[in-house]
Amino acid sequence: MELIKNKEFGGERPLYCRRSLRLEGVTIHAGESALKETADIEADGCRFEGKYPFWCCERFTVRNCLFTEGARAALWYSKGLLMEDTLVEAPKMFREMEDLTLRRVRIPNAAETLWSCRGVTLEDVEIEKGDYLFMHSSDLKVNSLKLQGNYSFQYAKNVEIRNSVLNTKDAFWETENVTVFDSVINGEYLGWYSKGLRLVNCRIGGTQPLCYATGLVLENCVLDADADLAFEYSDVQADIRGAVTSVKNPRSGVVTADSYGSVILDDNIKAPADCKILTR
């Protein structure tokens, strides 16, 4: 493997189409597509300032690096990424990618990030301003994610999340086969139009959660006081610990809780309109 150490590059495609390359302490200045169409690349302690440095790449490792705001849209159309201990200040990262793992990565400006990606693993990742995170992505395994940003995981499929704190309005809309374990989810309008959403040992906050859902399951969950008007038009099996502020017009299934502030069943309820509301 060729080693490039403590060098600086800029302009258009300075390392285009290279193979088997290790970069140590390298700076990529303003320009475009510095490492486009590369394979078997290692970057350690590097700084990326230019746009689109890793497009159409295969089998690459990024450790202890910095992507400045100018390195926007840095990783697209690539596969086989391992990124560790890295700060990503650039928005619109990780698009149309396969087989990517992020460990101990911080992304403070994550707007429109991780779109249409497949085979994603996140461990100990912190994300801020993450609006529309994971749009149209699939086959995700997430552990210890701290997320601040709205509209996350829309249209995502086959997702497993553990030990996370998600502060995100309109999360999990129109998702399929999502399971969340041992996590806190704060945000309005959680999980609308989802299919196969399962929440286990979770704490849920925000108004009108889990409406219009099919195959919705809650196991040993807690709903905060502001999680009112829950389950409207949903097919739900819910085991809730503590009180529920209000339930409105669930379509079918069983909801069990310690107590209810109110249960609203009015003329707008949809067939089969046979959901059982039980008190433990």
Question: What's the pLDDT score for residue 12?
Answer: 86
Question: What's the pLDDT score for residue 1?
Answer: 86
Read out DSSP for the chain? -EEEES-EEEEE-TTTT-EEEEEES-EEEEEE-TTTT-EEEEEES-EE-SB--EES-EEEEEES-EE-GGGTT-EES-EEEEEES-EE--SS--BS-EEEEEES-EESS-TT-SBS-EEEEEEEEEE-S-TTTTTT-EEEEEEEEEEE-SSTTTT-EEEEEES-EEE-TTTTTT-EEEEEES-EEE-SSTTTT-EEEEEES-EEESSS-S-S-BSEEEEEEEE-TT--SBTTT-EEEEEE-SEEEEEE---EEEEEESEEEEEE--TTPPTT---EEEE-
Question: What's the pLDDT score for residue 18?
Answer: 87
Are residues 35 and 57 in contact, defined by beta-carbon separation less than 8 angstroms?
yes
Question: What's the pLDDT score for residue 188?
Answer: 94
Question: What's the pLDDT score for residue 10?
Answer: 85
Separation between Cα atoms, residue 94 and residue 57, nearest integer Å: 12
Question: What's the pLDDT score for residue 203?
Answer: 97
Question: What's the pLDDT score for residue 209?
Answer: 97
Question: What's the pLDDT score for residue 40?
Answer: 96
**In tens digits, what is the pLDDT along the chain, a chain of 280 residues?**
899 999 999 888 988 898 999 999 999 998 888 889 999 999 999 999 988 889 899 999 999 999 999 888 889 999 999 999 999 999 889 999 999 999 999 999 998 899 999 999 999 999 999 999 999 999 999 999 999 999 999 999 999 999 999 999 999 999 999 999 999 999 999 999 999 999 999 999 999 999 999 999 999 999 999 999 999 999 999 999 999 999 999 999 999 999 999 999 998 899 999 999 999 8
What are the domain boundaries of the chain?
74-279
